[in-house]
Amino acid sequence: MSNFLIRECCPACGSASSKTLLRKKFTESPLSDYLETFYCGQGTIDMSLLESGEYVLNACDACGLVYQKEIPNDDLMYVLYEKWIAPEIARELHESYGTSYYMKQLSELGNIILKLGDKPKELKCLDFGMGWGLWCRMARGFGCNVYGVELSQSRIEYAESWGISVLTYADIEKQKFDLINTEQVFEHIPNPLETLSYLKSALSKSGIIKVSVPDGWKVKSKINSGRLPRPDYFRSSLIAVQPLEHINSFDHKSLVKMGEKAGLRVLEVPQHYSCSALELIKSRVRPIYHSLRGSHSTRVYFTHT
């Protein structure tokens, strides 16, 4: 019995037209070498569970999304995120973030609240894929009404120990949120378009959904360079197509098209505050950089069309 599911259509737009960019066996070198090094550094790995699958990267002809055709099924997903990635090691990593990380997150959150134009205590916020609940704790510090959704039981228990209200996936559609945060989540989701449409159903009339994912704008050219799947190259610059985990690699175009399919439009959120002079300069220069390179950020704010 296979531990993998096959995605026959693009998970971001539904198109059945795609090109195969790369096909490698998980259990053969050099991909197996990379996986063993990567997971043993944060827990363990059982390569026998990967024998029934292949690492296949497809590029959608319609929206440009690069996605892994074969993805772990629910059982393998559980083993991957709860066993191979040891919860205690992952939690220690998140708790080690420095002041600059929190200041950057707080600055962005403050800008979104200003855009919403409401007092924080009147805002209802959801962190979808909350992990260890760091964003929830920061939003609660502003005075927002905060909820989280997470699949990992260890992460749920940790967030609850901080007093975070945790909802189930089914609970979401019963609510209306002014802000739905998804930080480094949609690259992991088997059905991202379906998920985004579901989140939209729980968005208030003038609410905002933030989607932030790794930027995969140069993935195709890097694959064509022939340097994949060399282990050190994965680690350095192809993290957007991390085997098993980053099963969807978005660029700005594919992210926006998925939003449009879900009935959402891009919303600009002005940067009123920044945590440092350097961050302020970056916030001014970044749009120019993206314009010159012919792409835009994969941190996008959506609202209803």
pLDDT at residue 106, as a whole number: 93
Name the band, by pLDDT with cuts 50, 70 and 90, for residue 218.
confident
Angstrom distance (rounded) from CA 164 to CA 148:
7
Query: What mean pLDDT comes out for the span 65-91?
Result: 95
Is the pLDDT at 204 greater than 80, yes or no? yes
**What would the pLDDT profile of 111-126 be if each residue is shown by its tens digit?**
999 999 878 999 999 9
Angstrom distance (rounded) from CA 134 to CA 116:
21
pLDDT at residue 118, as a whole number: 75
pTM: 0.92
Angstrom distance (rounded) from CA 79 to CA 132:
18
User: What are 60's strand-pairing partners?
Assistant: 18
> What token pair was written down for 17?
């037209």
Give 99: exposed, middle or buried? Use CB within 10 Å, 0-12, 13-18, 19+: exposed
Is the four-CA dihedral 184, 148, 4, 52 of positive or negative sign? positive
CB 302 within 8 A of CB 267: yes
Chain centre to alpha carbon of residue 48: 27
pLDDT at residue 282, as a whole number: 63
